[in-house]
Amino acid sequence: MTVMLSVNDLRLAFGEGAESRTVLHGVGFDVARGQAFGLVGESGSGKTTVLRCLAGQYRHWQGDVRIAGDVYRGARSLAHARRAQMVFQDPYGSLHPRHTVRTALAEPLHVHGLDRVDERIDEVLQQVGLPLHFRFRYPHQISGGQRQRVAIARALILRPQLLLLDEPTSALDVSVQAEVLNLLADLRQKHGLTYLLVSHDLGVVAHLCDRLAVMQQGRIVETLSTDALCEGGAQHAYTQALVAAAEA
C-alpha cells in the first residue's frame, strides 16, 4: 500500500501577535493510493481549511505534507494542478456564467499547453456521463446535477491522481446526490483516483469513503474506518453524537 497523501502536524493561524487565531492545531492523516478518505465535522471545525491548504489556496501553513511522496510546501504550480484538483460545493458558483462548458473545460488544457483539446473534452464528458453536445451549453442551461458533473469533468481533464472534494453533493437534491455519488464511486474505481472528501453528512462520507477522520475545533478527534463507524465502533463522544444525529 503506497501512501498518496500524507499530512503531518498541519497548523494554520490567521492574524498577527495578540490578534492571532489558530484554526488548525496539528492535523494529521494518511490516505493510501486509490483510497477515499473523509473529513467530517461541523461548520468552523476546519475541514474545508485543510482542503484549501492542500489546494494551495492558503500558503502560510506549517507542517509536513507529502503528495505521492513529494514534499508539498503550499505553492500553486502547474505540476501541483496536474496532481491534485478540487471540486467545490456549489456548481453555480464554481462555473463561469458566461463561459460555455467547452470554454470551461478547454481552459486548463490551454494553461497546460496540451494538445487534442476537443478530443480530450469528448473523453471527459463521456467519463462523467454527459452528452457530447453539452459542450455548447452555458451553466444556466443545464441542471444542478449536470453542472456538478461539469465541475467534476473540469477537475478530471488534467488527469490528476488526487481529487479534493468539498461538499460535492450538499447543494443537490437527494435523487441527484445519489447520481453524483454513484459517478464519483465509479470514477474512482475506473481510474484509480484518490479522494479526500469533506462533508458534514456522515451518510455521504460513509457511502463514498473507506476511512474517515472527525474534526472539531481545528483538531482531529478520531480517525476510524467506515466499517468500524457503521458497526458502532466510534470511541469519541462527539463522533457518537454525529452518528446518533445521522441515524435519527
Rounded Cα distance between 58 and 51, Å, is 9
Residues in Cβ contact with 58 at an 8 Å cutoff, skipping those fewer than 6 apart: 12, 49, 52, 74
Q: Are the CB atoms for 234 and 228 separated by under 8 Å?
A: yes
- The single residue listed with the C-alpha cell 476546519 is 46
Residue 224 as a binder of other proteins (CB under 8 A): the answer is no
Residues 135-154 that bind other proteins (CB under 8 A): 144
Find the part of the chain contacting other proteins (CB under 8 A) among 1-9, 26-34, 122-130, 202-210: 202-210
Distance (Å, rounded) from C-alpha 207 to C-alpha 38? 10
For other proteins, the binding residue among 132, 230, 235, 237 (CB under 8 A) is 230
Interaction residues for other proteins, span 5-64 (CB under 8 A):
42-43
247's CB contacts (< 8 A; 6+ apart) are: none
Say whether residue 213 binds other proteins (CB under 8 A): no
CA angle 204, 232, 10 (to 5 degrees): 60
Residue 203 interacting with other proteins (CB under 8 A): yes
Strand bridging mode 211-216 / 70-72: unpaired
Contact between 221 and other proteins by CB under 8 A: the answer reads no
| DSSP state for residue 159 in the 8-state scheme | -
Minimum separation from the CB atom of position 245 to other proteins (A): 4
243 binds other proteins (CB under 8 A): yes
Nearer to other proteins, 79 or 244 (CB): 244
Least distance in angstroms from the C-beta of 229 to other proteins: 7
Least distance from C-beta 222 to other proteins, angstroms? 15
Task: Say whether residue 229 binds other proteins (CB under 8 A).
Answer: yes
Nearer to other proteins, 3 or 246 (CB): 246
Binding mask 167-186 for other proteins (x = CB under 8 A): ------xxxxxxx-xx--x-
Helices (H), 84-233: 91-94, 101-111, 117-127, 144-156, 174-191, 202-208, 226-230
Binding site for other proteins (CB under 8 A): 42-43, 144, 173-179, 181-182, 185, 200-204, 206-207, 229-230, 241-243, 245-248
